[in-house]
A = this chain, B = another copy of it.
Amino acid sequence: MTTDGQTRRFGGLTLEHDREWDYELDRIADAVEERDVETIGLQFPQGLKRQAPGVADDITDYVDRDVTALISGQPCYGACDVDMQLARQTDLFVHFGHTAMSESEGIIYVPLYSNVDPSPIIDEALAEFPDELDELGLVTTAQHVHRLEEMREQIEAAGYTVHTRKGAERLSREGQVLGCNYASADLPVDQLLYVGGGQFHPVGLAMEHPDKDVVIADPVNNLVTDATAEEFIKQRYGAVHRAMDAETWGVVYCTKIGQGRFERAQEIVANNDDAYLITTDEVTPDRLRSFGLDAYVNTGCPRVTTDDGAQFPAPLLTPGEYEIAVGNKPLDSLSFDTFHGTW
């Protein structure tokens, strides 16, 4: 292995923390050597796919062997969504951008940490809390979780008691949330501080924890806002109501490795003669439209159901919402569809 990787700036991923990236490149290069790798599979989330060719060049330039890089063209939205076909086809497989949900032989996870300093936006968020607030729960995403201890120290220095937890097997790091699991926010507090970019994670947080106040400190867009799930919750009730008239049901079993709840899907179908089990890797409006059924239950990613549900040709419900629609459970049992376990 060459050693100039320690100083060279690699073109593949233009993150500022080159040392982190160089370290990871070494980790990949070591595995290539150790395992006599001839083919290496590379998988990136949607927003980073454009970096894939540069990363492929970095790796093939850096290692001392002839390796063929295969880049996954499958959509990818999380660590639940490992391209297992490519992983099986290649000698080594590298999944970028997410922390490991479950460690597997032959798969390297390369989380990509943000280089943005969250401390200014955390200060801004703290300034907006009422004076009487003295404790809060702190959660963040995979992109910022490497700075959790810095965040905690900053907030404690401002006089607060900070609560965090790891929460669930599915979450690899203390304080981390996923779009489908907010167990790290099961904390004895009324106030949660979410540090991270975008609306995707805090909306789920607000759905899962409707009894808590959620403040978003977004270091990427430099904004402090309140998270609310009100609009989503209204949509969920609307979808459940529309599905109450359904005579035929499609029950989707998602075949992505970290999204499969086959037993739940099979149980629904076994108890409803007008329900049909449909298997697919991507749960999209087009794929379900082909079947022309009255309503669908998605046992795969709950965020497809809650965030994209309105785009589907018929009501798309979570398993819990299905139980309400067919009268097995009361309307007020409606809650966020958390994913447990790994695979």
User: What is A's interface to B at a CB cutoff of 8 Å?
Assistant: 41, 46, 49-50, 52-53, 56, 68-75, 83, 85-86, 89, 248, 250, 252-253, 255, 266, 269-270, 276-281, 287-288, 290-293
Contacts and interface: CB of A to CB of B under 8 A. Distances in A.
A292 B70 contact: no
Given A50-B290, A50-B292, A291-B49, A276 B73 contact: no
Nearest to A43: B279
Contact of A280 (B46, B68, B72): B72
Given A49-B291, A290-B50, A291-B52, A278 B68 contact: no
Contacts of A72: 278-280
B291 A85 contact: no
A52 B293 CA distance: 10
A288 B46 CA distance: 11
Given A71-B291, A73-B288, 14 more contacts: A52-B276, A53-B248, A53-B291, A69-B276, A70-B253, A72-B280, A73-B278, A73-B287, A73-B291, A74-B279, A74-B281, A75-B287, A85-B255, A85-B279
**Stoichiometry, copies per complex:** 2
A255 to B, nearest CB: 6
Q: Which one of A46, A276, A281 has the highest number of Cβ atoms from chain B below 10 Å of its Cβ?
A: A276
Nearest to A68: B266
Nearest to A281: B74
Given A255-B85, A266-B68, A269-B68, A280 B74 contact: yes
A272 B266 CA distance: 48
A215 to B, nearest CB: 33
A71 B290 contact: no
Contacts of A86: 255, 279
A11 B299 CA distance: 28
A304 to B, nearest CB: 13
